[in-house]
């Protein structure tokens, strides 16, 4: 089965609404990371968050390692937040296993 | 600042031909480099992880015969897609590690189309 499960697969919001993206892992992990993929492809690291809660502007990531889950909260969404959000789990060798992503569309 | 530069950004090759892509670490030394592929409608898969002065480790479904990788120093890696066919289309990302088990820095990718 898939090691990294993301939900929802897609999400449509009105500008200003909040979003909660989830990531669950089927195996134990060394670290996890959230990425944003622009339409067009390039990958941007949003959070490297092995555990606990991290915040950057309107984005907050919470990882609970022993429960094998992580979430990404986007508050007051903006149109420019649209794109694909991917989570990835890391092993102690550095290998990343990616989820399938959540496609976020923020409408005006 | 540190960044990873990939070249070319986009390329098209004829079916059955080969395509070489490059990855350059700028502003830091990359002890390890990982190559990933995102096929159409799919997520990223690891092709191989290369550490300088160590053997390159390929993932299942990817081989050195198909995706030979060169990692001659701490700032440069290249990968070739040999005998490219439609199933090799996608975005190829290079992730460079300053420290082997920490977060890699990704380039913008090479998008390969196959005709």
pLDDT tens, position by position, A24-63:
998 877 788 999 998 777 888 899 887 899 999 999 999 9
Q: Best of B101, B109, B110 to disrupt the A interface by mutation (most A CBs within 10 Å)?
A: B101
B33 has a chain A CB within 8 A of its CB: no
State which H helix or E strand residue A70 sits in.
strand A69-74
User: Are B44 and A98 an interchain contact pair (Cβ–Cβ within 8 Å)?
Assistant: yes
Residue B20: pLDDT over 70: yes
Put simply, whether A43 touches B (Cβ < 8 Å) is yes
Q: Whole-angstrom Cα distance, residue A63 to residue A57?
A: 17
Do A45 and B106 make contact, defined as CB atoms within 8 angstroms?
yes
With CB atoms and an 8 Å threshold, state whether B101 touches A93: yes
Arithmetic mean of pLDDT over chain A? 91
Task: Name the pLDDT band for A1 (thresholds 50, 70, 90).
Answer: low
Taking only the tens place, the pLDDT of each residue in B42-56 is: 899 999 999 887 889
CB contact under 8 A, A93 and B49: yes
Which of B25, B57, B61 lies closest to A93 in space, CA to CA?
Answer: B57
In angstroms, the Cα distances linking A18 to A44, A56, A89, B105 are: 21, 15, 24, 28
């Amino acid at each position: 089965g898939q090691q990294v499960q993301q939900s929802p697969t897609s999400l449509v919001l009105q500008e200003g609404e909040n979003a909660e993206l989830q990531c669950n892992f089927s195996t134990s992990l060394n670290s996890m990371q959230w990425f944003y993929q622009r339409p067009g492809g390039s990958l941007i690291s949003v959070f490297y968050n092995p555990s606990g809660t991290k915040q950057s502007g309107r984005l907050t990531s919470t990882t609970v390692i022993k429960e094998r889950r992580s979430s990404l909260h986007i508050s007051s969404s903006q149109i420019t937040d649209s794109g694909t959000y991917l989570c990835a789990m890391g092993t102690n060798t550095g290998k990343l296993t990616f989820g399938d992503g959540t496609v976020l569309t923020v409408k005006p | 600042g540190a960044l990873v530069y990939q070249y070319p950004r986009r390329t098209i090759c004829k079916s059955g031909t080969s395509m070489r892509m490059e990855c350059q670490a700028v502003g830091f030394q990359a002890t390890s480099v990982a190559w990933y592929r995102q096929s159409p409608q799919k997520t990223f898969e690891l092709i191989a992880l290369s550490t300088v002065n160590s053997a390159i480790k390929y993932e299942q479904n990817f081989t050195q015969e198909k995706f030979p990788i060169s990692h001659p120093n701490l700032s440069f890696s290249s990968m070739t897609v040999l005998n490219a066919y439609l199933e090799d289309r996608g975005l190829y990302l290079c992730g460079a590690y300053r420290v082997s088990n920490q977060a890699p820095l990704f380039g913008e990718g090479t998008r390969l189309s196959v005709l």
